[in-house]
Amino acid sequence: MKTAARGVIATVAGDGIGPEIINSAVRVLEAVNKRFGHSISTTPALAGAQAWDKFGEHLPKETITICEGADAILFGAVGGPVDDQDTPRWKDVEKNVLLGLRKKFDLFANLRPLKVWPGTESFSSLKPEFIKGMDVLIVRELVSGIYFGPRKRFERDGQQVAEDTNVYTWSEIERVVRVAFEAAAGRKKKLTVVDKANVLETSRLWRDVARAVAKDFPNVNMDFMFIDNAAMQLARSPATFDVIVTDNMFGDILSDLGGAIVGSLGLLPSASLNAKKFGLFEPSHGSAPDIAGKGIANPTAQILSLSMLLRYTYDLQKEADAIEAATLSAWQAGERTKDLSGNLSTEEFTSCVVKRIAA
């Protein structure tokens, strides 16, 4: 029998629906601890607007220290209403907190699974026959590219000009492509490299690196696809993909598209890992200011992010499976939040999951 796990997770709830869905994940963790005899505790840390109000910064030092001392980070979301982006309380909050944590811990490999669970085909806006069996893993590069390249705003010929630069080095690409090959080797052995190599020099470098790394993975079938075609193919025949690897920007966009295909952004968890496998685990969606405080957010992406955390950080596979099984079983019993055309609140749906883990 496995011994009881002990540990500490830093919980960074953030803004909007962040605190509501983190609360759900903590309840699920408590149920897992109880059922399996573990002692994994949580230490809350402030980030986003609440941190701004208390410390005058979005990502205070205290929060970084808590994260450094933890085994992993369970993150909610940050960001304010789209119309308030330019107020000091909200300006640059995503860059300061998310990009700050990703860079600080060098979380270069962002794993975003897009999975249609058996019996949940009706969640999708696509016809069931198109999405049946869909099980895609997007591996998104997370600490470089256009998100982190030099940017500036200046004046030229009497008008404003803005510049963002997309920069990738061979080694930045290689390490994330390797993660994708390794993932594919353990799955259906198919890897699609998504890029815009018909135009972009960075994409050409991605292809060179991918061809070089492919030599170490002769059993994995690799192909290349342009991002525009990949978006179309993902919406038309998602079940034909296995693992997708792509850069920071393309991966961001493809994963939201994946949310629509699977049925809701509220279903997509993610893991962002570094070379030492330290990770930040968060939903792929944002702070959803339009529904914040209403108690109707779907907590699934956050709960499944906890399940990924248990897998990657503590190697607790049975426990992670139990969370997934409980969630699926709740859906199969017709228990759903509003985004999935149900009428359960965040709290009520969480109770449905917790009850099944306890059983």
Q: Which residues make up each annotated binding site for Mg(2+)?
A: 228, 252, 256
Examine residue 20 and tell whether it contacts ligand IPM (CB under 6 A). no
- Whether 215 is catalytic is no
75 sits in which H/E element: strand 72-77
Tell me the C-alpha distance between 272 and 282, whole Å.
8
Examine residue 94 and tell whether it contacts Mn ion (CB under 5 A). no
Q: Is the Cα dihedral 283, 285, 289, 292 positive or negative?
A: negative
Give the CA diameter of the chain.
Answer: 72
Nearest-approach distance from CB 221 to ligand NAD, in angstroms: 32
98 vs 176 by CB, closer to ligand IPM: 98
Tell me the C-alpha distance between 74 and 272, whole Å.
10
User: Which of 45, 70, 78, 193 is close enough to bind ligand NAD by CB under 6 A?
Assistant: 78
Contact 90, 49 (CB under 8 A): yes
Determine the distance from the C-alpha atom of residue 101 to the mean position of all C-alpha atoms in its chain, rounded to a whole number.
14
- Whether 228 is catalytic is yes
Residue 56: CB atoms within 10 Å: 9
Site for ligand NAD in 4-63 (CB under 6 A): 17
Site for Mn ion in 252-281 (CB under 5 A): 252
- Angular region, 206: left φ>0, alpha ψ -120 to 50, beta rest: alpha
Examine residue 306 and tell whether it contacts ligand NAD (CB under 6 A). no
- Whether 147 is catalytic is yes
Examine residue 116 and tell whether it contacts ligand IPM (CB under 6 A). no
Nearest-approach distance from CB 5 to ligand IPM, in angstroms: 28
User: Which of 24, 96, 120, 284 is close enough to bind ligand IPM by CB under 6 A?
Assistant: 284
6 vs 151 by CB, closer to ligand IPM: 151
The edge-to-edge listing of strands for the beta sheet with 190-195 is 39-44, 6-14, 72-77, 279-281, 271-273, 109-115, 135-141, 243-246, 190-195, 221-226
Burial of 97 (0-12, 13-18, 19+ CB in 10 A): buried
List the structure tokens of 353: 């999951």
Nearest-approach distance from CB 295 to ligand NAD, in angstroms: 11
Examine residue 246 and tell whether it contacts ligand NAD (CB under 6 A). no
User: Which of 19, 38, 59, 94 is close enough to bind ligand IPM by CB under 6 A?
Assistant: 94
Instruction: Give the CB-nearest residue to Mn ion.
Output: 252
- Whether 252 is catalytic is yes
Nearest-approach distance from CB 285 to Mn ion, in angstroms: 8
Catalytic residue among 168, 196, 247, 338: 196
Tell me if residue 41 falls in helix, strand or coil: strand
Catalytic residue among 147, 168, 312, 314: 147
52 sits in which H/E element: helix 49-55
- Binding site for substrate, residues? 102, 112, 140, 228
Nearest-approach distance from CB 173 to ligand NAD, in angstroms: 23
Instruction: Choose among 46, 54, 62, 47: nearest CA to 93.
Output: 47
Catalytic (active-site) positions? 147, 196, 228, 252, 256
Query: Footprint of ligand NAD on this chain (CB under 6 A)?
Result: 17, 77-80, 94, 98, 265-266, 282, 285-291, 297-298, 301, 339
Query: Footprint of ligand IPM on this chain (CB under 6 A)?
Result: 79, 94, 98, 252, 284, 286
